[in-house]
A and B are shown apart, each in its own frame.
Chain A
Amino acid sequence: MENLIALLIGAPLLGAAVLLLGGRRLDRTGHWLGTLLAAASFVIALVLFVDMLGKGAEDRALHQTLFTWIPVGTFQADMAFQLDQLSMTFVLLITGVGTLIHVYSIGYMEHDERRRRFFGYLNLFVAAMLLLVLADNYLLLYFGWEGVGLASYLLIGFWQHKPSAATAAKKAFIVNRVGDMGLSIAIMLMFTTFGTFAFGRVLEASDQASEGKLTAIGLMLLLAACGKSAQVPLQSWLGDAMEGPTPVSALIHAATMVTAGVYLIVRSADIFNAAPDAQLVVTVVGAVTLLFGAIVGCAKDDIKKALAGSTMSQIGYMILAAGLGPIGYVFAIMHLVTHGFFKAGLFLGAGSVMHGMNDEVDMRKYGGLRKYMPVTFVTFGLGYLAIIGFPGLSGFFSKDKIIEAAFAKGGTEGWILGAVTLLGAAITAYYMTRVMLMTFFGEKRWQPDAEGHEPHPHESPKSMVIPMILLAVGSVGGGAVFEFSGFVEWLEPVTGFEHGHAPISAAAVTAATVAVMVIGVGLAYLQYGRGPVPVVAPRGSLLTRAARRDLLQDDFNHAVFVTGGTHLTRSLVYVDHSLVDGVVNGTAAAVGGLSGRLRKLQNGYARTYAVSMFGGTAVLIAATLLMRAV
C-alpha cells in the first residue's frame, strides 16, 4: 500500500510535465489529460483511505522512502513520505476539491487559448501541495512549500498581459518569500537543536529542548504560516491574488496554498504544545486576522475580493483554533475541510456569475440574478448558509466547535477569544448576506458597457455546474458527517485531543452563535434587502473607506517598508560614498600625491644618481663606524 503514496504526487506531476513540455499538439486534449490525472490521484487517495480505515488507530500511518535526496556525510535528507490521518485528510481535500476545480476549469477556460498551460499549472499546484502534506521531514515539506509558492505565482499571473495581474503575482510571491524565510530559519533552528529534520524525531524530542528555543522555532513557523495562509501581518497578497482566473482563486482558498499554514502549525503541534508563549501569539494572530478579514469583506464591492476577505477571516478561525493547543487542533482541521467545500463552492459560484455577466465583478452591477442562474443561485446559497453557520450545515458544526474551544481556553484570554470569535461570526453573517442580497436579489442593475454590449446572464455549462452541485452537497452534509462519524477520534492519534472545559455550557455557546448569526443577517437585510442598492458606492464612513482600501494594509506597507527601505538604502549609500569610499579614495590620493613628489627625484641626470649612490655609501659607512664605536 505504501508504494501508492508516491503515485499520489506522481500523477499530477506527470500531468504538469506532459502538459508544459508537450507543446501545441496537446492543445485539444490537454485539459482532459490534466483532469484525468488529478482524478487518478483522487482515486488512489480513496483506495489508501479505505485501506487506512480498515486498520487499527495506532498503525494507520504509512511510510515510504524513495531515495536519499541529499547525502552529505552524516547529514541525510530523504525523499520520504508519511501518510497518517492528518495527511490523509488533506490529501482527500486537495485531490477531491482539486479534481472538481479541474472539471470546472474545462468550461470556465474554454475560450482561453492558453488553456493547456493553465491545466499544467493546476496540476503542478496540486502536486506541490500533495508533496507539502505528504513529506515526512521539514526539508521536503519546504520543497513542497516553495512549489506551492511557484505554482501560485504562475496562476495568479496567468493573465500576465494585464499589468495588474502581473503585479499581483509578484506581490504574492514576494510577500510569501517573507514567510518562507521564517520557515527556513525554523528548519535551521531545528537542525541545530535536534540534528535532524524528520517529523518523527523532531517532534518526539521536542520536550527535551529549552523552551526559549522552542518558542523561537514556533514563532518562525508562525511567520511561515502567516505568509502562506495570508494572516496579519503578511495578509496583503490575498486580495490582489483575485487577479488570477476564478478557478485559481477557488483552488488557492479551498484546497491548496492558504491551508498550508494551518497544516504546518497542526503538524508541529508538539513544538507549540511545549512553547505556550508561541501558542499565545498564534491565537492573537488568528483573532486579529479573523476580525481584519471580516471587516474588509464587509466593504468590498468586488465579489471575489469580498470572498477573499472572508477566506482570510475563516483561516483566522483555524489559526486561532490551532493556537489553542490540543483542545483546538482537531477543530482547526475540521473547519479547514468544511471551509474547503463551501469556499470552493462559493468561488466557483462567483466564477459562474462572472461567466454569465461578461466578467463583471462589481456586485453593484449585479442584482436579481436568481432568476437567470437558478442552479448557481441554489449552490451559492447553500454555500452561503454553510459559511454563516446555519444550523445543520457544515459551517455550523465546525465554527461552533472553535467558538466553544476559544471559551474553553480559560481565564480572561478565553473570554476575549470567545467574544472575538462570536463577533467574527456576526460579521461573517453580515458580509455574506450582503454578497448574497447584492448578487441574487433586488432589481437588475447592469447596464450596457461602453461598446453597447448588454450582458445576458445565463446559466453556465454542465462542466461548471456539476462541480458546484457536488461542492454544495459537501457544504450541506460535511459538518454533520464529521460531527457524527468520529472525526475527533480519527485525528486524535496524530494531533492529540483534550476536551475543553468552557465556563459556559455548550448549549449556551450554540445559542449565542445562532443569535449573533441572526443579528448579522438581520442587519444586512435592513441595509441591503429592503431598498434598492445604489449602483455607485456611497462615500461611507471612515471605517468603510479604510476597509475598501483593505484597512490601509498597502499604505502601511508602503509607508513602513517601501519608504522606510528607500530611506535606509539611501543612508547606507551615503555612508558608503562618504565613509567607505572616503577611506579608500583618501588612501589612494595620499599614495598618489607622495609618489608625485618622489617622482621629481628621477631627473635623468647620471650625476644625480651618482650623488645618491655616494650619499648612500657614506651613510652606510658612517653607520657601520658608529655601530663599531658603540
Chain B
Amino acid sequence: MADVQVAKKEAAFGFGKKERKLLVDPLNDNNPITVQVLGICSALAVTTLLDKALVMSIAVIFVCAFANLFTSLLRMYIPKQVRMIVQLVIIAFLVTVVELTLKAVDYNIYKELSVFIGLIITNCIIMGRLEAFAMANNPWRSFLDGVGNGIGYGIILIIVAMIREFFGKGSLLGYKILGPSSDFLITIPGYQPNNLMVLFPSAMFVIGVLIWVHRAWNRKLIDIS
C-alpha cells in the first residue's frame, strides 16, 4: 500500500512541485499495477482489445478522480464506523453513473464490457487511494492524485492491450495491420496470429514481463525479500 502523505497548509488550488509529483509518481515509481499491484482483475479481462482498454481507462480515471474528490470533501463528516461502506457507496454511485452514460453513448462497447464496468467498484486502486490519500488530503490534491493513479493504471492497460491485440489478432483498434490475407496493411503469406495472446493467461505473462522490464530499468523497485 502506498505511503500516506499529509498535506501541509498551502494554497488550495496551487500547482507546484508537489502537485506535479502527485500526477507523475503513479506513472513510474508508484505505478498502481506494476508496483502497487492493485486493480489487476479488470486489467486482465478488458485488455484483449485496445478499444475496450481505452474505454476502461477513461472510466477508471473518471471514477478514481471524482471518488477521491468527493471523499476528500466529505472527509471531516464521514463517521469512522461506517467509513468503508460510505466510500464504497461513493464509488458504486460513480460507477453506476459511468455505466448509465456508456449505455446511452456506445451500446456496443457497453455490451462487450458487460460485468467488468461493475467491477470497477472493487478495483482496489480506487479504494486504496481513498483510504491512503483522500481521507487525509485536501480536495484539489486528492483529485490530482486520483487522475494520476487513473492514468498510471490506464497506461499499463493500454500497453498490455496493444501487445495482446497486435500479436493476437494482427490488428489495432480494429484496423487490420499484420496478417495473412490481402485486407491487412502488411501481408505475410501464411502468417498466423498467436491465439494464445487473446486468452486470459497471456495477460498474466504480458504483465509479468512488463513488471520484469520495469524493474530491470528502475532497479530500486526490485523485491529483495
Genuine A/B complex: no
